[in-house]
Amino acid sequence: MKKAVITGATGGIGEAIARKFASLGYELILIFSKNLEKAQQLKEELSAQVPVSIYSLDFSDTKSYTTEFQHILNHHSSIDVLIHSAGISVRSLFHEMQDSEFERLFEVNVKPLFYLTKEVIPKMISKGEGSILSISSIWGSRAASMEVAYSMTKGAVEQFTRSLAAELSHMNIRVNAIAPGGVHTELLSNLTPEEMRTFTEDIPFNRLASPEEIADLAAFLVQKGTYITGQVLTIDGGFTL
Ligand SMILES: NC(=O)c1ccc[n+]([C@@H]2O[C@H](COP(=O)([O-])OP(=O)(O)OC[C@H]3O[C@@H](n4cnc5c(N)ncnc54)[C@H](OP(=O)(O)O)[C@@H]3O)[C@@H](O)[C@H]2O)c1
């Protein structure tokens, strides 16, 4: 049975990806931060389909989560898929953003790509295959006010994707990312109703994506996109056209 590690599994997109990969028969190693209740519910429900384990790791404490992740991987001889879906958004005018918020954005959105992926790659190399997928954002390559620091983190996700793909292609390890526009999850709860209305009106499809639509693309990239690597696929209902 193939195994997938999913970070941010208690988030809107991560949960949808966990459900999708359970339906595809993957054993799941689900990483979350604080939402134990949701993680336990997900485990209880999806365990009817596949083996599921849940672990709380706080990405603001690099040393401790790296060590914990090493312990987790010791229980698994192979890992086929690593999906980085944990992420936070802080919207602020650039000159008003607190230093601590800037640090937190990089701790959650960027640094785990480095520390967790580093631990997983040797297992993929010894198996001779693997797939690494990150959730970026349209703000990883586009510009918008109030999104400077968030955009910086997503730009890093996208360069991580391309550069690591170049390094690992000859080992049959693919590295890709998904760049969603607006997705119906808690992450957008920092938008006021008015901001949400304006944002939605600017989307040609006139609606946000569902988390399941992102999960379907994740499954495609991992399972069917066997000749795709180093790519960032936009899924935004035409927003960036
Ligand atoms: N929603 C959108 O419109 C949208 C659009 C473009 C890109 N994205 C990207 O998609 C990804 C998933 O977003 P989402 O909408 O699913 O967000 P979400 O519903 O807010 O979920 C965020 C997830 O990140 C985890 N997390 C937060 N802080 C953490 C920390 N310190 N350590 C470890 N995990 C932490 C949360 O864990 P707990 O629940 O346990 O706290 C949760 O599982 C993010 O990278 C986001 O930037 C989202």
The string of pLDDT tens digits covering residues 59-94 is: 999 999 999 999 999 999 999 999 999 999 999 999
Per-domain residue ranges of the chain: 3-235
User: What share of the chain in percent tops pLDDT 70?
Assistant: 100
Per-residue confidence (pLDDT) for residue 146, from 0 to 100: 93
| Local confidence pLDDT in tens for the 241 residues of the chain | 999 999 999 999 999 999 999 999 999 999 999 999 999 999 999 999 999 999 999 999 999 999 999 999 999 999 999 999 999 999 999 999 999 999 999 999 999 999 999 999 999 999 999 999 999 999 999 999 999 999 999 999 999 999 999 999 999 999 999 999 999 999 999 889 999 999 999 999 999 999 999 999 999 999 999 999 999 999 999 999 9
Short-list 150, 229, 233, 240, CA closest to 203: 240
- What is the value of pTM for the model shown? 0.98
- Out of 3.30.2130.10, 3.40.50.2300, 3.30.750.24, 3.40.50.720, the CATH code matching 3-235 is 3.40.50.720
Per-residue confidence (pLDDT) for residue 148, from 0 to 100: 97
Q: Phi/psi of residue 185, each to 5°?
A: -145, 175
159 Cβ partners below 8 Å, 6+ apart?
A: none
Active-site amino acid positions = 150
In this structure, the strands spanning 81-84 and 52-56 are unpaired
Q: Which ligand 1 atom is the nearest neighbour of the CA of 13? A: 16
Q: Does any ligand 1 atom lie closer than 6 A to the CB of residue 180?
A: yes
Ligand 1, atom 1, lies closest to the CA of 183
**Cβ-based burial of 5 (10 A; exposed 0-12, middle 13-18, buried ≥19):** buried
Top mutation candidate among 84, 106, 116, 135 for ligand 1, by most atoms within 8 Å of CB = 135
- Between CA 132 and CA 84 the distance in angstroms is 8
**Cβ-based burial of 128 (10 A; exposed 0-12, middle 13-18, buried ≥19):** exposed
Please report which helix (H) or strand (E) contains residue 77, including its range.
Answer: none
Q: Does any ligand 1 atom lie closer than 6 A to the CB of residue 186?
A: yes
